[in-house]
């Protein structure tokens, strides 16, 4: 880029991995010629690394240390507590910036679409994950852990995380960053049996082999798969031969077909070829009805008309996630992403929308791992910088002027560091690991504005 009197101003909406990798790509590709402002409705950065990665996965959570360096770059600023649609509109952003990147992720669970799904005790897995990860929106959620049996529907990594947290003892979680009130609630759990349910077969399980191994190594929980659930149709058998990921999963799962030792306090049962058809109960969840499934000649799953019922008192749904529309931004209601080409937002007829871009799950759907967002963001940024016209109109005002005129408070990066320090100090005071999260809004505010 040719040197300019004023740097290119870019707003990024969302401070999760996708947003911060986009910020990193901007400063790497544009050098001193860019100013990046990262906005988040929460007072905390890092998105799913903070509020989606399981608390006992400390190696993955350490990605936050890498992302921290992005936020500390002189060309990057953090604006926490500022929500798109509530505090700033799309038009506001376009008046203050040369370009906008939306990286708001996929925040909503997909529904099962079965009778009884809205009964008390039928819960989106995201709500449960948010609770044990200390998300402020979920700090006061209550889950009935007095029931002895629970069903988790889904066989992806999120479902495995939920099952693992339910099957671990409080002592195993004490060194993690779960909030104190979560640890207290889990200490009273009466859950003894957790069912994890997949509509398709073991070859189609979406969890990683590493996650599966971790589940099978829990000291307090035996794990079991009925041998008949490991049946492989011809297409699945071929996958097990040719796909390393599938082959690894099948090997782990086959090791679970023997009955586990009966002296462990908890048990995990993994079910394949079972589809939920109804959540049973009058005033709350009292059971889950499953239909046995099988693949047809095209590979699609069909019901067999054979049913069984699990006597569960809580159902956690983990069958996928979707993004939600942003006001004024094109959105595909079928795929639940913003239509785009290489991150360039596509308007009617596929014509690129000037100055607006996407990165992360809202760009491509909820696929890949945390690191997938890095190359994804780099592609978006390359196209953004290629599109930028230094001779064109520039922003008419600064976002600071706009926020000040509206009297909108902002959580700065320095404020976040106060909250970060408070959580580390709390862990030290409680003799609990590296940090203990503050989850309630009032506690967070007191921590990041300690002198107000």
Determine the pLDDT at residue 356.
97
- What stretch(es) of the chain map to CATH 3.50.50.60? 109-320
Whether the Cβ atoms of residue 162 and residue 318 lie closer than 8 Å to each other: yes
Classify domain 109-320 at the CATH topology level: FAD/NAD(P)-binding domain (3.50.50)
Q: Give the closest residue to 258 by CA, choosing from 229, 215, 224, 216.
A: 224
For the chain, the average pLDDT equals 92
> What whole-number distance in Å separates Cα of residue 144 and Cα of residue 381?
45
- What stretch(es) of the chain map to CATH 3.40.50.720? 8-107+323-411
Alpha helical stretches, state H, 119-179: 125-132, 157-167, 170-173
Determine the pLDDT at residue 258.
87
Three-state DSSP class for residue 432? coil
> What whole-number distance in Å separates Cα of residue 388 and Cα of residue 411?
30
Determine the pLDDT at residue 2.
47
Who wins on pLDDT, 449 or 245? 245
Secondary structure of 320-353 in HEC code, one letter for each residue: CEECCCCCCCCCECCCCECCEECCEEECHHHCEE
Alpha helical stretches, state H, 7-73: 17-30, 48-51, 58-61, 63-71
Place of tokens 């054979």: 306
How do residues 257-297 score in pLDDT, each as one tens digit?
A: 988 877 899 999 999 999 999 999 999 999 999 999 998 87
How do residues 367-422 score in pLDDT, each as one tens digit?
A: 777 778 899 999 999 999 999 998 888 998 999 999 999 999 999 999 999 999 99
Across 31-50, b (16+ Cβ under 10 Å) vs e yields eebbbbbbbbbbbbbbbbbb
Q: Is the pLDDT of residue 3 over 60?
A: no
Q: Is the pTM of this model over 0.75?
A: yes
Nearest-10 crossing angle of helices 17-30, 63-71: 50
Taking domain 8-107+323-411, whether its CATH number is 3.40.50.720 is answered by: yes
> What whole-number distance in Å separates Cα of residue 356 and Cα of residue 408?
24
Q: Is the pLDDT of residue 174 over 90?
A: yes
pLDDT category of residue 4 using cuts at 50, 70 and 90: low
């Amino acid at each position: 880029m040719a040197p300019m009197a004023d740097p290119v101003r870019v707003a990024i909406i969302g401070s999760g991995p996708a947003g911060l990798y986009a910020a990193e790509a901007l400063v790497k590709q544009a050098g001193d010629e860019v100013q990046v402002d990262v906005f988040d409705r929460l007072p905390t950065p890092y998105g799913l690394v903070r509020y989606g990665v399981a608390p006992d996965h400390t190696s993955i959570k350490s990605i936050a240390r890498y992302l921290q360096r992005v936020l500390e770059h002189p060309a990057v600023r953090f604006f926490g507590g500022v929500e798109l649609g509530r505090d700033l509109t799309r038009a506001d952003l376009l008046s203050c910036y040369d370009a906008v990147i939306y990286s708001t992720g996929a925040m909503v669970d997909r529904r099962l679409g079965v009778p009884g799904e809205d009964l008390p005790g039928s819960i989106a897995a995201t709500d449960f994950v948010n609770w044990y990860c200390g998300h402020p929106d979920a700090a006061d959620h209550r889950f009935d852990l007095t029931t002895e049996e629970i069903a988790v529907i889904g066989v992806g990594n999120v479902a495995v995380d939920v099952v693992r947290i339910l099957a671990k003892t409080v002592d195993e979680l004490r060194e993690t960053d779960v909030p104190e009130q979560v640890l207290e609630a889990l200490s009273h759990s009466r859950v003894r049996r957790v069912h994890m349910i997949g509509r398709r077969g073991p070859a189609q399980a979406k969890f990683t082999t590493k996650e599966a191994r971790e589940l099978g190594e829990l000291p307090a929980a035996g794990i079991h798969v009925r041998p008949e659930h490991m049946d492989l149709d011809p297409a699945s058998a071929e996958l097990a031969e040719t796909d390393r990921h599938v082959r690894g999963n099948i090997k782990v799962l086959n090791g679970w077909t023997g009955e586990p030792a009966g002296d462990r306090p908890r048990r995990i049962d993994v079910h394949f070829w079972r589809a939920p058809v109804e959540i049973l109960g009058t005033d709350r969840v009292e059971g889950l009805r499953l239909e046995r499934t099988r693949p047809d000649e095209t590979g699609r799953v069909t019901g067999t008309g054979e049913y069984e019922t699990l006597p569960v008192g809580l159902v956690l749904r983990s069958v996928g996630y979707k993004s939600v529309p942003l006001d004024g931004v094109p959105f595909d209601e079928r795929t639940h992403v913003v239509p785009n080409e290489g991150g360039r937002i596509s308007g009617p007829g596929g014509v690129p929308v000037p100055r607006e871009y996407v990165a992360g799950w809202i760009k491509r759907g909820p696929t890949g791992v945390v690191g997938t967002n890095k190359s994804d963001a780099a592609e978006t940024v390359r196209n953004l910088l290629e599109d930028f016209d230094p001779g064109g109109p520039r922003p008419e005002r600064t976002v600071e002027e706009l926020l000040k005129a509206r009297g909108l408070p902002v959580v700065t990066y320095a404020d976040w560091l106060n909250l970060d320090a408070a959580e580390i100090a709390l862990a030290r005071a409680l003799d609990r690991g590296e940090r203990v999260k503050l989850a309630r809004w009032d506690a967070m505010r007191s921590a990041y504005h300690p002198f107000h």
